[in-house]
Chain A
Amino acid sequence: MNARIAGWAGRLAGAAIAAMLATTALAQDAMLYGKSDPAAKSGGKLMVGSLTEPPALDPYHQGADARIRVTVLAYQGLFYEDASGQAVPLLAESYAMSADGLSYTFKLRRGVKFHTGQVMTAADVKYSYDYLRDSKNGSPGAGDLSTVDSIEAPDDHTVVFRLSRKNGLLPITLTHRYGGVIPKDYFATPDARTRLNEVSVGTGPFKLRQFRQNSVLVFEKFKDYWQAGLPHVDEVTFAFMPNSAAMVVAAQNRRIDLGIFTRPQDAEQLARVPGVRLVRTPSMNQKAIDLGSEHPALKDVRVRQAIALAVDKDAVMKASIAGYGQVIGTMVAGMQDRWGLPLAEVPNQKPDLDRARRLLAEAGHPNGLEIELTTIIGYDWMDAGAVTIADQLQRIGIKVNIRKIELGVWVRNFQSRQMGFTFNDWPSSPDPSLLFYRHFRAQPLGADFRNWNNARASELLDRGREESDYATRRGIYNEFQKIMAEEVPTIMMFSADLLTVERDRVRNHQQHPTGWYFGLVKAWLAE
């Protein structure tokens, strides 16, 4: 074949690849924030009832899930976490990883504007992530970016991250959880942090109009948002409800268009109300019981195993969320297919009271023991769950005293690694390394909040973090899950479904399994 044909072939191939990439990119873009609805109409004001109120709207310094849910509407990261937990390029248009895995090059989207009016450039991205990863700034997201050595902005639309160690998870840590891209030097002004509660400075489809504590949070459509035609609604108002009874009443009387119930069975009261529908979505959360090894009784693995063998997860789930969920083994329900060890292979899942009693006796407690179980104020499902667990453990001779404490106190115990025997309600994490690493990897590299200190588990977690190949990682995390189920530093019980109540006029609302309000971007109002 002569050079001319080769040249044409090359150009054709190049064009074909470009076209494929473009279509993939376009296809991926079309899936950002869920599926688009061609019949969508613009306009209208959407009223959302919320049982949780964000303490503040600062995506850099506030770790609470209640905050993340709403700030995802105003702030965006380089990537978007889709419903299956994968990182899809958002503010990054495309990216490439170097062969040695130690540097990532991101090409940025053009024409993206901040709520302040300025155009986004690489300098802004560099500033945003530099600020986030510097622990002197006090961001809860700093830890996730500890492998980043430096960030460069060689030109206006390119950003390069240089890593000190391979990190297959980098894209997923650059999503919406913490931070987001904000204008360069934003935090240089003294009142910058608290001003975020009055004015938003992100690139997201909604910008902040008003935030009144204990009252309402209002977002309005960002007219210069970079995705054409979005968002559909003109305004979103979050009204904070003091309890689910108020939300049920509000939904019944059509004062709200949308609401997520923290306790799914509360929504049952709306089952027969005309004009509203209930949507059930498997979620990424998990309700668990933690067993800290610093506790004198729980130090012995046999005691922990005995407890695991006495707990009937189905019964606990029925009591606390009326069965609106899925019993899990060692992986969040929304990630079971992709990452979960098949339930049949997970040890210590089914109640076996005889074996439990024997283990207790072997561990030196033939006549049972007394232990305190901690629950948290404001987490209603824990009350019913605690009572049920106490009932179940009594059958193997363990007397449970329930102690209810405030969230602030619980967090302090958690951070100082004195958790003891407690309920836990884990925030969502789309990747097993993000889910497990800090929690279970032994010190000093991990936080090991439950003082488990297991060498083999730590080794597996280290490897899983660096590895990028899906199949290899799957094998690593399968083995990790087996060890976790054997040694019981935690009992993952169930993932509660997200129960969303929607009025008929709300269309195309896709509930994201994290519970964050991504779905409001492509939702529209029929009248």
Chain B
Amino acid sequence: MLRFLASRLASSLLAAALSSLVVFALMRAVPGDIVAQMLGQSGDAAAASALRGFFGLDRPIHVQFAEWVGQVLQGDLGRSWYQGKRVSLLVAEAFLVTLEVALATLLLATLVGVPLGVLAGIMEGSRVDAAIQVFNLAGLSAPVFWVGLMLLVGASSILGWSPPFAYMPPSVDLADNIAILVLPVLSLAVLQAAAYSHFVRDCMTAELRREYVRAAIAKGLSPARVHFRHVLRNILIPLVTFMGLILIQILGGTVVIESLFSLPGLGRLILSGIQGRDYPVVQGALLFVVAIAIVVNLVVDLLYGLIDPRLRP
């Protein structure tokens, strides 16, 4: 196990380093750098070369990369070229927003999706099961941002309500914070709840067919007791690993929702960084995202390895 962990860690670090290199090179290969954007239609050649020197863009690319890696290894992700703020600070602030959305969604989706899935599994074949299945499939098929758009229309025209647009952290103004998160979280939760419900239903139906269930019920244990004490426990680990996978998707996939609802999260930070060619921000933020993905992937792989030895890489 320890060897497995060590080797996974090593290959993960390598992957992280390689992806940083790829991002670094790609961003610089693309036309239109920050200097072009800062000067716009008014620049002249002298100003352009002066600015390029200021940002260190006139040095060879491997020198720039070495310098950046050196900085990162010392824990410094550099500073945003536009804002001047430390990238680590920008990323932390943005991540907190995205995390808040992700956790709220996780909570809501679990509270709705897991019970639905359990219910569908227990009542397999009934009308309730069919209805839940339709909900699952529809929820999984509907584009998240489309759900968000429709909710926005509905809230505005039917309830005459719209969310505030300036994000407030919960510590500053809880009411505003909840108001701005309601619609995005609902939109994301529909998809997530459907995913959980779908997964849990599958697990439940599989488990319920197992011998031990029938044996326990034959022995006289109440079905409810069997369901809750035994079956649920057995599907817990697969469920948690599944949630881990979905969490990565959510963390990465909030880009569109953030764009629609004006949330200053990680996705928007990366998107605006790419469009503004703010290299330090893009590199730092992507490195962070990659790091998180690696950690979650590692944990999920570990858990998978625990359940099913065949799946050990």
Contact = CB atoms under 8 A, between A and B. Distances in A.
Partners in one complex: yes
A138 to B, nearest CB: 4
Contacts of B51: 61, 138
Q: Which of B30, B31, B85 has the most CB of A within 10 A?
A: B31
A195 B33 CA distance: 22
Q: Which of B36, B51, B160 has the most CB of A within 10 A?
A: B36
B41 A215 contact: no
B42 interface: yes
Contacts of B272: 213-214
B103 interface: no
Interface in A193-209: 193-198
B38 A241 contact: no
Interface in B33-72: 33, 36-44, 46-48, 50-51, 54
A22 interface: no
Contacts of B216: none
A26 interface: no
Contacts of A275: none
B168 to A, nearest CB: 9
Interface in A213-255: 213-216, 237, 239-242, 245-246, 249-250, 252-253, 255
Interface stretch (B233-241, B256-264, B305-313): B256-264
Interface stretch (B13-21, B76-84, B135-143, B205-213): B76-84
A63 B39 contact: yes
B203 interface: no
B41 A426 contact: yes
Contacts of A215: 166-167, 264
A168 interface: no
Interface string A392-415: 000000000000001111111111
Contacts of B47: 135, 137-140, 142-143
Contacts of B83: 56, 194, 197, 211, 213
Contacts of A135: 44, 46-47, 50
Contact of A63 (B38, B82, B85): B38
B160 to A, nearest CB: 8
Contact of A55 (B41, B82, B152, B268): B82
A73 to B, nearest CB: 19
Contacts of B170: none
Interface string B235-272: 00000000000000000000000011110100011001
B257 to A, nearest CB: 11
A255 B165 contact: yes
Given A197-B83, A241-B262, A406 B275 contact: yes
A64 interface: yes
Interface of A: 49, 55-56, 61-65, 135-143, 178, 191, 193-198, 211-216, 237, 239-242, 245-246, 249-250, 252-253, 255, 377, 406-415, 426-427, 438, 447
26 contacts: A62-B38, A63-B40, A63-B41, A63-B42, A135-B50, A136-B50, A140-B38, A142-B47, A143-B47, A194-B79, A195-B84, A198-B84, A211-B83, A215-B264, A237-B166, A239-B165, A239-B166, A246-B165, A253-B162, A408-B30, A408-B32, A408-B275, A411-B32, A411-B40, A415-B36, A447-B44
The 5 lowest CB-CB distance pairs between A and B, nearest first, are A194-B84, A408-B32, A135-B46, A138-B50, A138-B51
